[in-house]
């Protein structure tokens, strides 16, 4: 995936847990990275492998992608520029899987951050709920909001660091009226998909999040004005 | 929604022209306080009969607007001329139909973003730089070991 990964476990944990998790992440990357010449997704894009003959994980991803595409009226779509690029969906899915693996191993207090999308559980080493900063889209070294979350996910879509890697699938225009859109909710996979889809809608994206039960959003426009959904302030750290 | 507005405005404008025509000798217009019509319904004068002879006062006409129900219009006459036209009554269901059709979103709170100085455990945003990642990873591993 080429994304930076940060895993912090507040419970006592041996090194091998980290090794296992990172090993899993590398495995997923080999399968889903469109930048790898022999990844499963590249083979599919080159027509050398049919989706129906692909691995269970790959089929799951394509099925999830289709569900999300319909749920968001096409604003979430992994097919563009003639290729499938499921990385927007894989990221949330992988983070969710890591969180489940850790929960299965009886860890209660951790977070996993993959490329700025985060799943959290429990509390930090100081015994306080995890605090999450929302990055300033105009200054990567600063944060502009602090939210606190016990269990769930925070996902941010933006185009300010990796260039315009999100565009509107409805009209192929690059998104430039909003700089970032953060979604908070009980499930990182859902939050990630919704953040991606909402970002593609431009300024209407925050209304899309407002209409979702259980998910809140914080949208920053190109002028530095933030719009938040009506339940967002419950997450803000005072 | 736009079509309904244009249509209803057209109806109201059409009524105004209609009302003006009536005052110049068309169909019945009721004057408030009077039970007899101002002009005879059968009269269709070639020259507007009452343009200069309109008594000062105000006149009402009920118009049935198919879209929004009855609208009552008050025409104010002064110096023999219509000086003002007022809409007296919007049926309450008209407001409702506007609300239903406007698909109004709740007004969402806005603020200018401000740099926060608080320390946080982690940051959400589009991909962090690799330098930050390495540092954070090392720190996480160190914490896990301790």
Going by C-beta distance under 8 Å and a sequence separation of 6 or more, which residues neighbour residue A87? Answer: A1, A32, A33, A34
Mean pLDDT for the stretch of residues A83-91: 87
Which residues contact residue B109 at a Cβ distance below 8 angstroms, ignoring those fewer than 6 apart? A227, A228, A230, A233
Number of other residues whose CB lies within 10 A of the CB of residue A52 = 7
Nearest CA distance, A183 vs chain B (angstrom): 10
CA–CA min distance B30, chain A (Å): 50
Rounded to an integer, what is the distance from CA A6 to the centroid of its chain?
14
How many residues are given for chain B?
A: 146
pLDDT in the model for residue A134: 97
- Give the single-character DSSP code of A86: T
pLDDT tens digits, one per residue of A53-73: 999 999 999 999 999 888 888
Q: Is B113 on the interface with A (CB under 8 A)?
A: yes
Asked if A238 is an interface residue toward chain B (Cβ–Cβ < 8 A), one would say no
Chain A residues within an 8 Å CB radius of B118:
131, 133, 143, 146, 237
Range scoring the smallest mean pLDDT among A139-153, B21-35, B115-129:
B21-35
Q: Cβ B136–A6 below 8 Å, yes or no?
A: yes
Do A4 and B114 lie within an 8 Å CB cutoff? no
In sequence order, what are the residues at sequence separation of 6 or more whose Cβ sits closer than 8 angstroms to the Cβ of residue A198?
A: A75, A157, A181, A183, A205, A206, A208, A209, A217, A219
- Does the beta carbon of A4 lie under 8 angstroms from any beta carbon of chain B? yes
The yes-or-no verdict on residue B63 having pLDDT over 50 is yes
Residue of B nearest to A15 (CA): B145
Averaged over A171-186, what is the pLDDT?
82
Q: Is B141 exposed, middle or buried (0-12, 13-18, 19+ CB in 10 A)?
A: middle
Residue A163 pLDDT: 46
Q: What is the pLDDT of residue A31?
A: 93
Work out the pLDDT band at A109, boundaries 50, 70, 90. Answer: very high
Distance to chain B for A224, nearest Cα, Å: 6
Interface contact flag, B113 A159, Cβ < 8 Å: no
pLDDT tens digits for B83-139?
665 555 444 444 443 434 335 567 899 999 999 999 999 999 975 433 333 344 444
Q: Tokens at residue B74, please? A: 């008050």
Instruction: Please state the rounded mean pLDDT for residues A234-238.
Output: 92
Mean pLDDT across A21-45: 92
Judged by a CB distance cut-off of 8 A, whether residue B120 touches chain A is yes
- Asked if A154 contacts A99 with a C-beta cutoff of 8 angstroms, the reply is no
Which pLDDT value is given to residue B14? 74
pTM of this structure: 0.66
Chain A residues 167-196 within an 8 A CB cutoff of chain B: 180, 182
Q: pLDDT band at B5, cuts 50/70/90? A: confident
Residue A196 is predicted with a pLDDT of: 86
**Residue range A186-200: mean pLDDT, rounded:** 91
Decide if B108 and A210 are in contact by the 8 Å CB cutoff.
yes
Cα-based distances in Å from A9 to A92, A97, A102, B127, B128: 19, 15, 9, 21, 20
Q: With an 8 Å Cβ cutoff, is B131 touching chain A?
A: no
Question: pLDDT category, A202, cuts 50, 70, 90?
Answer: confident
Mark B93-107 as b/e (b = at least 16 C-beta within 10 Å): ebeebbeeeeeeeee
**Per-residue confidence (pLDDT) for residue B83, from 0 to 100:** 61
pLDDT > 90? residue A161: no
Number of cross-chain residue pairs from A and B with Cβ atoms under 8 Å apart: 152
Q: Look at residue B45 in the predicted model and tell me its pLDDT.
A: 34
Q: What is the structure's pLDDT at B29? A: 39
B44 neighbors B26 (Cβ within 8 angstroms): yes
């Amino acid at each position: 995936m080429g994304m930076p990964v940060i895993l912090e476990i507040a419970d006592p944990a041996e090194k091998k847990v980290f090794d296992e998790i990172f090993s899993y992440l590398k495995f997923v990357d080999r399968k889903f990275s469109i930048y790898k010449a022999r990844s499963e997704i590249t083979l599919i894009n080159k027509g050398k492998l049919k989706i129906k003959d692909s691995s269970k994980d790959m089929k799951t991803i394509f099925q999830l992608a289709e569900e999300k595409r319909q749920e968001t009226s096409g604003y979430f779509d992994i097919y563009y520029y003639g290729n499938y690029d499921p990385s927007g969906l894989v990221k949330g899915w992988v983070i969710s899987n890591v969180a489940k693996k850790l929960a299965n191993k009886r860890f209660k207090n951790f977070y996993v951050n993959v490329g700025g999308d985060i799943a959290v559980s429990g509390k930090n080493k100081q015994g306080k709920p995890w605090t999450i900063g929302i990055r300033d889209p105009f200054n990567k070294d600063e944060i502009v909001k602090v939210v606190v979350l016990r269990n769930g996910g925070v996902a941010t879509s933006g185009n300010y660091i990796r260039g315009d890697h999100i565009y509107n699938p409805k009209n192929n225009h690059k998104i430039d009226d909003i700089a970032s859109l953060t979604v908070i909710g009980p499930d990182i996979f859902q939050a990630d998909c919704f953040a991606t889809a909402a970002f593609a809608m431009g300024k209407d994206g925050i209304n899309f999040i407002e209409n979702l039960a259980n998910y809140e959003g914080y949208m920053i426009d190109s002028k530095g004005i933030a719009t938040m959904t009506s339940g967002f302030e419950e997450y803000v750290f005072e | 929604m736009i079509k309904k507005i244009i249509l209803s405005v057209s109806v109201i404008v059409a009524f105004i022209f209609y009302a003006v025509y009536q005052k110049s000798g068309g169909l019945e217009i009721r004057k408030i306080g009077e039970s007899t019509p101002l002009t005879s319904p059968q009269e269709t004068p070639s020259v507007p009969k009452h343009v200069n002879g309109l008594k000062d006062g105000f006149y009402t006409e009920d118009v049935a607007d198919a879209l929004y129900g009855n609208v009552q219009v008050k025409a104010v006459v002064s110096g023999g001329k219509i000086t003002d036209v007022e809409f007296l009554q919007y049926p309450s269901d008209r407001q409702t139909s506007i609300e239903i059709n406007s698909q109004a979103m709740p007004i969402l709170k806005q603020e200018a973003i401000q740099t926060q100085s608080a320390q946080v455990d982690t940051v959400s945003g589009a991909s962090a730089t690799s330098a930050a990642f390495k540092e954070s990873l090392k720190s996480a591993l160190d914490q896990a070991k301790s």
